[in-house]
Amino acid sequence: MNKDVHPIDTYFREALKDHQVEPPGSGREAFLHEAGKLHRAEKKRIIWLWGLSVFVILLSAGILFFFRGHHQPPAGERPSITEPASTKAGKILSTVPVPKETSGTAVHQASGSSVPCQPVHRSTTCAPFVTPSGHDTNAASEEKPAATSEISEISVPASSRSFISPSITIPFNYFPLTKSTLKIISEKVAPEKEEKKVIRRNESGYHAGLYFLPEMMFNTLEKEKFAWNLGAEGSFYFKEFSITTGVGLSLTKGTRELIVKYNDYLGSYSNLDSMSFEWNENHTQVIPTYYMTDKDVWDSLMKLDYPKVIKRYIYLQVPLMLGYDFWKNEKCSFGLRVGPVLSVMIDSKRLSADYDPGKNRIIGINNITPDRINLNWQIAGGINFSYLLDNRWSLDLEPEAKYYFNSVYEKSEISKKPWSVGLKAVIKLNIKK
């Protein structure tokens, strides 16, 4: 694009070509200070992201672990092997691994009678020795024999062991098990141990619990800041829905910056207030008496100091969270929790020592950081993961985020509203079954 070339433009452009103005040194210091703060904030953010990633990975791993642990079908429900066996005993024995500790499996026939087998070691060649009464071998041979490779474990009732010799190899033809008649249940002996305690999640009921929630706040005057929340809560569950409320305390530290105007102390001198003279006849002279007071001297130049006061603030928090569990099984559940939280400041305590001006003369003290607000509202939302420890106790983990509807300061210079992220841990007691 052609621009009109004007002599004034050219003149000024030439005049200020490569012009440089040395900026003040304080600007450089301020920039380096700000860069340092940025660097620290960046580091913190990276640490938090890493922490969050590790947490998500651990949580995912935990969920996977629970799924795998709880979704295996019970041993009694495993499918029976009904394939026919047609191969000879020697072949069977070479292909069937029999663990040392295996006590055996029960072999059932269609009639319901159990066929005893010898518990074997790996090196022992054996086959079940069967003498079923009234067994029709001809009829059995017509049926398709079961595939022996499917046989995994063989159990024998203790009372039947006397029928079996460990050293005798018997052709499998003597063991006429067919597709229709053979049923192998591959469960270990000790049925009483396998009866697991069944924990079931109730459809509805009341829970009472204690929670702990570390929280990190953003968009505050003090940059990132931690708050520690703890309290008690009660929930009512109805199917997938829940409503939770409670009372908690939120503890947070705040740094208030002050601006102190003062005059420097320069020293003191003795000021002569008055003097009197007395005639001493013994010495024939006048003896003076001086009346003096110490006077302090301060510089007339006003100076500024920026002390910081650390305070602890305690807030009372009342949440009202509505929940929906979008997935649940007998022990675990996943759900959403959303609701408002009311925070009321109930106490503030100074943690740092009072500002000591020494002998300097204080002209005035003003706040740079505004006071904390007494009441504010937040909206909180999170993903809840609940795990039933037993029929009465459960543990909840809830990564959550909060958005503050108003600033935590009375006169905030930050136009953006604060927000926070945290991880809530709740231990709950099921009150009503």
Partner 1 sequence: MREQSLLCKVVKKDPEALKKLYDDYAPKLFSLCMRYMGNRADAEDVLHDGFIKILENLPGFRMGPACNLEGWMKKIMVNTALNNLRQRAKEEKLISFDKAEGKMDVHDEEFSEEDAFPVIPEKEVILEMIGNLPAGYRTVFNLYVFEEYSHREIAVMLGCSEGTSKSQLSKARVMLRHSLTSVFEKEKRY
Binding site for partner 1 (CB under 8 A): 1, 3, 6-9, 11-16, 18-24, 27-28, 30-32, 34-36, 38-39, 42
User: Minimum Å distance from CB 333 to partner 1?
Assistant: 42
User: Minimum Å distance from CB 415 to partner 1?
Assistant: 12
Of 7 and 134, the one with the shorter C-beta distance to partner 1 is 7
8 Å CB contact between 337 and 321: yes
DSSP state of 157: -
Q: How many residues belong to the chain? A: 433
Strands (E) located in 281-418 = 285-305, 308-328, 332-350, 361-367, 375-388, 393-404
User: Minimum Å distance from CB 50 to partner 1?
Assistant: 18
User: Minimum Å distance from CB 26 to partner 1?
Assistant: 8
User: Minimum Å distance from CB 218 to partner 1?
Assistant: 16
The Cα 287–Cα 277 span in angstroms is 5
Of 219 and 317, the one with the shorter C-beta distance to partner 1 is 219
Of 28, 53, 70, 305, which Cα lies nearest the Cα of 199?
Answer: 70
**Cβ-based neighbours of 249, under 8 Å, separated by 6 or more:** 229, 230, 231, 314, 315, 316, 317
User: Minimum Å distance from CB 8 to partner 1?
Assistant: 5
Of 70 and 416, the one with the shorter C-beta distance to partner 1 is 416
Of 31 and 65, the one with the shorter C-beta distance to partner 1 is 31
DSSP 413-428: S--SPPEEEEEEEEEE
What are the phi and psi torsion angles at 11 (to 5°)? -60, -50
Of 27 and 134, the one with the shorter C-beta distance to partner 1 is 27
Of 1 and 353, the one with the shorter C-beta distance to partner 1 is 1
Q: Which residues of 280-289 are buried (b: 16+ CB within 10 A; e: fewer)?
A: eeeeeeeeee
Which ranges in 219-327 belong to alpha helices (H)?
A: none
The residues that bridge with 241 in the sheet, in sequence order, are 238, 324
The Cα 259–Cα 308 span in angstroms is 9
Task: Tell me how far apart the terminal alpha carbons of the chain are, to the nearest angstrom.
Answer: 81
Of 20 and 366, the one with the shorter C-beta distance to partner 1 is 20
Of 30 and 297, the one with the shorter C-beta distance to partner 1 is 30
Tally the C-alpha atoms within 13 A of residue 427's C-alpha that lie toward its C-beta.
5
